[in-house]
Structure 1
Amino acid sequence: MSVESGTGAMRAEREAIVAAARSLFQRGLTHGSTGNLSVRAGEHVLVTPTGSSLGTVEADELSLIDLTGAHVGGPKPSKEAFLHAALLRARPRATAVVHTHSTHAAAVSCMDGLDPDDALPPLTAYFAMRVGRLPLLPYYAPGDRALGPAAEEKARTHPALLLSNHGPIVAGASLGAALDAVEELEETAKLFLLLRGLPTRPLTAEQRRALADPLN
């Protein structure tokens, strides 16, 4: 199927991306022109375009890339489209990627002394189920394609990543699953910051293992 002939067939995916974008924006999980979403569409990937706001982007404004991150149709994609392609390559069962600059997760990404292999403790069962362990990637400037290989390597074993001084990015088996995970990550980051300096009781290693998604 050509890119042109696939436009109509992608209508459902386009509308799903716009609905998810509106939801993220209206609930304050993105602001301004931050954040981007993508969904597999056959051999290609639909992704929000560069400079767009998730509060106003329209279905016909979405970009189309391939799994190398190359632009193949529509407006110019987000400068982080290559990152979406990297996660989808690393996770063949994933169909969607959500990246936000949500306030509390971004705040945690700026903190010193985090465990780079496990940036947030498993404070709730839902975090353990939907996110699992959260690796913290080193800082890269926005759009720096050197982030791609680092993200792809970590994403092979982790569906969610935290980008230092930036924010979270999550791959999911569906767009809904990716949205649930990125929201759970944000809520856990909020709890983590609220509880700083207080004694906490995270899930034990055994409790965490019992809740782990075997597909993650």
Structure 2
Amino acid sequence: MSEENRLRERIALHGKSLFERGYGCGSSGNISVRLEDGILVTPTNSSMGRLDPARISRLDWQGNLLAGDKPSKEAFLHLAMYQERPEERAVVHLHATHSVAVSCLAEINPENVLPPITAYYVMRVGKLPLLPYYRPGDKALAEAVRTAAREHRAMLLANHGPVVAGKELDAAVYAAEELEETAKLFLLLRGERTRYLTPEQVGELTAHFPT
């Protein structure tokens, strides 16, 4: 099996797992991986739970379709992330319920949306900025993602959902899952006296596990 076909199979496997565990519904969410000459990205109007590896879109770096079905209308988000962060090999964008719920809250800190509740959130996600709302498919969002990507591998789109990059596909998926679970914890703990990790504990984690 070629490396590209192996990656296609892995995208479909992760998509099915995410969908079946409720991290996406309908045709929401998209996954991509970097190739030498472009990216593979899930097609538009496709369910992550029923992806056909052979029909996953292959794009060049200008966003031109080279193979597969028509790409997600949010493929430009993935391209912007890769172009700004050449070390990243995969990007996951979800419309997961708890992350989207947090993205709709009026009083959250746009510079760092979620507090350091657990060590694994700090290790896998780190600081999480909130980007302003743009309508789906608005190319202006690509520039907002590009700007945020200069300092962050994960970001939350207002009233929309998270975008998370990783040095490989598994890492990107695991970080996106950690973000969603932390958003769930954050909502469960609202109104309760909560013990977050201290700045010293966060500093120790980021020193040992830089994002």
Q: TM-score range by the shorter chain?
A: over 0.9
Corresponding position of 2:72? 78
What SS class does the counterpart of residue 122 from structure 1 fall into? coil
Corresponding position of 2:57? 63
Corresponding position of 1:126? 120
Match of 1:30 among 24, 27, 41: 24
Match of 1:110 among 90, 96, 104: 104
Corresponding position of 2:189? 195
Q: Does residue 157 of structure 1 match 2:180?
A: no
What SS class does the counterpart of residue 10 from structure 1 fall into? helix
- Listed one character per residue, the Cα deviations across residues 79-116 of structure 1 (whole Å, up to 9, x for unaligned) are 00000111111111110000111110010011101111
> Partner amino acid for 1:97?
V
TM-score, length of structure 1 as denominator length: 0.93
> Partner amino acid for 2:108?
L
Cα contact 2:78–2:91 (8 A) shared by 1: yes
**Quick one: percent identity of the two aligned structures?**
54
Per the TM alignment, residue 72 of structure 1 is displaced from its structure 2 partner at its CA by 2.8
> Partner amino acid for 1:131?
V
What SS class does the counterpart of residue 134 from structure 2 fall into? coil
RMSD over aligned CA atoms reads 1.4
Per the TM alignment, residue 8 of structure 1 is displaced from its structure 2 partner at its CA by 4.9
What SS class does the counterpart of residue 50 from structure 2 fall into? coil
TM-score, length of structure 2 as denominator length: 0.95
Question: After TM superposition, what 4+ stretches of structure 1 lie above 3 angstroms from structure 2?
Answer: none
202-211 or 78-87: bigger deviation: 202-211
Count of residue correspondences:
210
CA distance, structure 2, for counterparts of residue 123 and residue 78 of structure 1:
33
- Listed one character per residue, the Cα deviations across residues 135-192 of structure 1 (whole Å, up to 9, x for unaligned) are 0000001111100011011112111110000011100001110011001001100010
Gaps of 5+ in 1: 1-6
What SS class does the counterpart of residue 49 from structure 2 fall into? coil
Gaps of 5+ in 2: none
Cα contact 1:67–1:86 (8 A) shared by 2: no
Per the TM alignment, residue 133 of structure 1 is displaced from its structure 2 partner at its CA by 0.5
> Partner amino acid for 1:72?
L
CA distance, structure 2, for counterparts of residue 132 and residue 67 of structure 1:
28
Cα contact 1:123–1:188 (8 A) shared by 2: yes
Q: Does residue 183 of structure 1 match 2:177?
A: yes
> Partner amino acid for 2:117?
L
Match of 1:88 among 76, 82, 97: 82
Match of 1:49 among 13, 18, 43: 43
CA distance, structure 1, for counterparts of residue 63 and residue 209 of structure 2:
28
